[in-house]
Each structure stands twice: as C-alpha cells, then as structure tokens.
Amino acid sequence: MSKVISISLSPNTQKDDVSLALKLIFTTKKDGVRKLERLFRNYFGFRNAFAFNSGRSSLIAILKAMKIGAGDEVIMQAFTCNAAVNPIKYVGATPIFADINDDLNISVEDVEKKITSKTRAIMIQHTFGSPAEIDRIKDICLKRGVYLIEDCAHCLGAMYKGEFCGSFGDASFFSFGRDKVISSVYGGMVTVNNESLIDGVSNFQKEIKVPGVFWTIQQLLHPILFNKIILPPYNMKIGRGLLAIFLNLNILSKAVTKKEGSGILPEYFPKKMPSSLAYLAINQLKKLEEYNNHRREIAQYYNHLFLKGDIDENNIYLKYPLLVDNPAKVINKLKKHNIYINDGWSGSPVVPASTELDKVCYAIGSCPKAEEISKKIILLPTHINISKEDAKRVFDCLEDIRQNK
Ligand SMILES: Cc1ncc(COP(=O)(O)O)c(C=O)c1O
C-alpha cells in the first residue's frame, strides 16, 4: 500500500519529538517557559517575548494590553480561522472583515473602506507564510492613530524587506499549534514593539493560570499517539478509527472545538504556556531553518510541476495553495490514493466551514473575493515529512483527477 500523505496529521513530528514528549510525561522541568522566551528573543532579535498556551491566548493578551473592548472595532481579513476571530469577541470588541487579494492577504483598499472612528486596531495575517503589504497598512495605522497587530500564526521565519515578520506591528503573535510552522501541539508567543504595551502583556501573562495537568498530558500524548499508533495504520480503517476513539475519549485534544464555531472560546484560553510544552517548542525551534528551507524546496518543486515561475524567498510556504473547480470532490478523490489534504481551510470565509458566520460577526457578501477563493482553494503539504516523491505523487493524482481518469 502507498505511503499516507497528509497535510495535518501531526505534520512536524519527528522521532526526537516523540521521545522528548515521552520523557516530559514522566519528568517535571519547571524552567521551560523562560528558556523558550530567551531562545525566541535571541533567534529573531526581538526585544521581548512572552509565551502563552496558544495563539488565541497571545492575541487576548495583546488586545487586553491595548485596552480594546466593548464598542471598539478590530479590522482583520476574511479567509481566516475562527481561532483568530474569537479572541476579539472574547474581549468584547467587534471584528470587522476586510476582503483579500489574490495573495490571500488583506486588501489595503478594502481596509480603507472599512475603517471607522471605532477602529482601534488593524490585524494582518501573512496567510500560509506569505507576508502581507505591511508598509501600506502601517501607513494607514499611523495616519489614523490605530494599532497594528501582526498575526504571525502562519509565518514564523518569513521575511519582509529584510526583517522577520513580527518586527513591524505594535505587537505581534505567533502560534505553535499542531499544524503550524513549528509545533508544541498548543503554544503561542507575543512580541511587543510599542513600549507602552509591554507592561500590559507582561502583567496579563502573570495574572493568568497554567492549564491543568490533564490538559498538558493530553497535548504531550499527541505526537506520541500520532507517530506510533494512528499514522502507521492510517491507510487502513483502523488508524482513522483509533483517531476517532482517542478524540471521543478526550485522550487527544481538538485544534478548534465545535463551540468555537459558535464564537465561544473553551475555558483553557487564555492560559500560560506549560513548561513541558515549552520544551517541545524549544526542540522544534532549533529545527526552524531546516523546516522552512524544506518547505521552500517543496514549494519550488510544486511550482516547477505546475509550470509556475520561481517561488518568493520571503515566503515560508506553510502550505501550498491551489485553486480548483470543486475542492470537496478533489479532496475526496485524493483520499482514495491515501492523500489527505483536508485541513479545514476551505469552503467558508471563516474556517472551518462549520463556523456559524453570524456568530463570528461575518456578513455574507461583505468580502466577495474571500468567499470566492474559499470555494476554490485546496492546500498541498510542504512539511518536513513530505518528500519530493510525495509531492510528485500528489501532482500526478491531481492531474489524473483533472483529466477525469
Ligand atoms: C491565522 C490564524 N491566526 C490565529 C490562530 C490561532 O492560533 P492557535 O491555534 O495557536 O490558538 C490560528 C490557528 O488556529 C490561525 O490559523
């Protein structure tokens, strides 16, 4: 049987991550968070770094430090995840959606149309590792006296005009979620450039609690169970059945819960980063350059196969986007070849597609381009466990589907 190719089944996990996770279940090491923050600061040359248990908690910390709340508006792009929207709702503010460009990033022109006297911040996303038009958005922020937030959940290591993404916002946040650039299953980081916000983020980090021990063990089990138990038999029904059982029994966590589709965050946000997950993140951060070089290499190879030009070296290609006529059909057909590319980023301007748009303040028709693209997009894997042969297999299957073979 052919190898399972997947985009989101613990994509960054390697042997050393599995043995580390096993060790961390049985040991208590308390100093992980400070070590991770120090490594992160030094790696990127950021002045400060504050770890949290997710991008969601990180964004809440930023919004609280900015004193954004009821009556305030935050402009963000459509074609986003409800995980990026709900923290804004959590603090009582209203998310206002701006449309996107072909590069899947926020449209400056639409931001200009949607800005009002209630706008307190503009959040840019750098979708799938591709830097947004930071300078133009920053100009608007400076002119209008509103904050710039960089959502760097997809773009750890991506560059804009010679500097790392995350260097430009008043505050920026990153995610170490299970299918992000590096992964500690759950985890996030804030860096603050606007000095007036540093104490706010730091105090918020001190105030909140560490998640419970059970929650932390649940995350440590993720790389172990995926690598050792779920993935090996995934192309037989048994692997998929085991995954469903582990999720149902709460032995494994979900990346985004069902309730979040109705605009409600679970009680484990906002929380501190547990020390053991910080150790997982440290192990992964040391591999960041290798991971991103590999992603660029695979993206360049896809470009070659699809007869496109050279890749953008500033982009880290977390995933490789492609527009097709009927994504649901393509995703289903690929499954028959043991290729699993459904990561939820399709079918709605706020993903996953099960999200109730009214509950996340999205008005249908307000961002036509994002709606159109979300009906056509599929994403191809570029992560460290994907070889060029795998990429070629994905391409060949897509060609067969296109020619209706
Ligand atoms: C664009 C974007 N922003 C923010 C987040 C939130 O990050 P996290 O899953 O670490 O809470 C996610 C991921 O879910 C995301 O895709």
The Å distance, Cα 46 to ligand 1 centre, comes to: 21
Domain with CATH 3.40.640.10 in the chain: 29-207
Atom of ligand 1 nearest to the CA of 57: 11
Place of tokens 């009927």: 326
| Half-sphere exposure of residue 132: CA atoms within 13 angstroms, side-chain side | 32
> Is the distance from the beta carbon of residue 175 to the nearest atom of ligand 1 less than 6 Å?
yes
From the alpha carbon of 188, which atom of ligand 1 is closest? 10
Ligand 1 and 344: CB distance under 6 A: no
Asked if residue 29 lies in contact with residue 275, where contact means CB atoms within 8 angstroms, the answer is yes
Please report the atom of ligand 1 found closest to the CA of residue 151: 3
Question: What is the rounded radius of gyration, in angstroms, for the C-alpha atoms of the chain?
Answer: 20
* Cα–Cα distance measured from residue 201 to residue 155, given in angstroms and rounded to the nearest whole number: 21
Centre of ligand 1 to C-alpha 149, Å, is 14
Q: Is 84 in the pocket of ligand 1 (CB under 6 A)?
A: yes
Helix H segments across 249-336?
Answer: 275-285, 288-305, 327-335
* 56 pocket-lining for ligand 1 (C-beta < 6 Å): yes
Domain covering 29-207, topology? Aspartate Aminotransferase; domain 2 (3.40.640)
Q: Whose CA is nearest to atom 7 of ligand 1?
A: 55
**Distance (Å, whole) CA 216 – CA 365:** 40
pLDDT in tens, the chain (405 residues): 788 999 999 999 999 999 999 999 999 888 999 999 999 999 999 999 999 999 999 999 999 999 999 999 999 999 999 999 999 999 999 999 999 999 999 999 999 999 999 999 999 999 999 999 999 999 999 999 999 999 999 999 999 999 999 999 999 999 999 999 999 999 999 999 999 999 999 999 999 999 999 999 999 999 999 999 999 999 888 999 999 999 999 999 999 999 999 999 999 999 999 999 999 999 999 999 999 999 999 999 999 999 999 999 999 999 999 999 999 999 999 999 999 999 999 999 999 999 999 999 999 999 999 999 999 999 999 999 999 999 999 999 999 999 986
Where exactly does CATH 3.90.1150.10 map onto the chain? 288-402
Instruction: Return the pLDDT at 222.
Output: 98
Which mutation among 106, 125, 175 tests ligand 1's pocket best, with the greatest number of atoms within 8 A of CB? 175
Could you tell me the distance, in angstroms and rounded to a whole number, from the CA of residue 1 to the centre of ligand 1?
34
Give the mutation target among 56, 97, 123, 219 for probing the ligand 1 site: most ligand atoms within 8 A of CB.
Answer: 56
- C-alpha 401 to ligand 1 mean position (Å): 31
Give the whole-angstrom CA distance, residue 10 versus residue 4: 12
Q: Encoding tokens for residue 386?
A: 């994907």
- Look at residue 2 in the predicted model and tell me its pLDDT: 85
Q: How far is Cα 155 from Cα 165, in angstroms, rounded to an integer? A: 7
Strand-strand pairing, 147-151 and 119-124 = parallel
Q: Which CATH number fits domain 288-402: 3.40.50.150, 3.40.50.11440, 1.10.15.40, 3.90.1150.10?
A: 3.90.1150.10
Of 275, 306, 295, the residue nearest 395 (C-alpha) = 306
Ligand 1 atom 6: residue of nearest CA: 55
Q: What is the pLDDT of residue 28?
A: 87
For the chain, how many helices (H) and strands (E)? 14, 15
What is the per-residue pLDDT across 341-384, written as a single tens digit (0 to 9) for each?
999 999 999 999 999 999 999 999 999 999 999 999 999 999 99
Q: Where are the beta strands (DSSP E) in 125-206?
A: 147-151, 159-160, 163-164, 171-175, 188-192
Distance 404 CA to ligand 1 centre (A): 36
Please tell me if the CB atom of residue 371 comes closer than 6 angstroms to any atom of ligand 1.
Answer: no
- Is 348 a pocket residue for ligand 1 (Cβ < 6 Å)? no
53 lines ligand 1 (CB under 6 A): no
Cα 81 to middle of ligand 1, angstroms: 7
Q: Is 105 in the pocket of ligand 1 (CB under 6 A)?
A: no
Residue 84 CA to ligand 1 center (angstroms) comes to: 6
Determine if ligand 1 sits within 6 Å of the CB of residue 80: yes
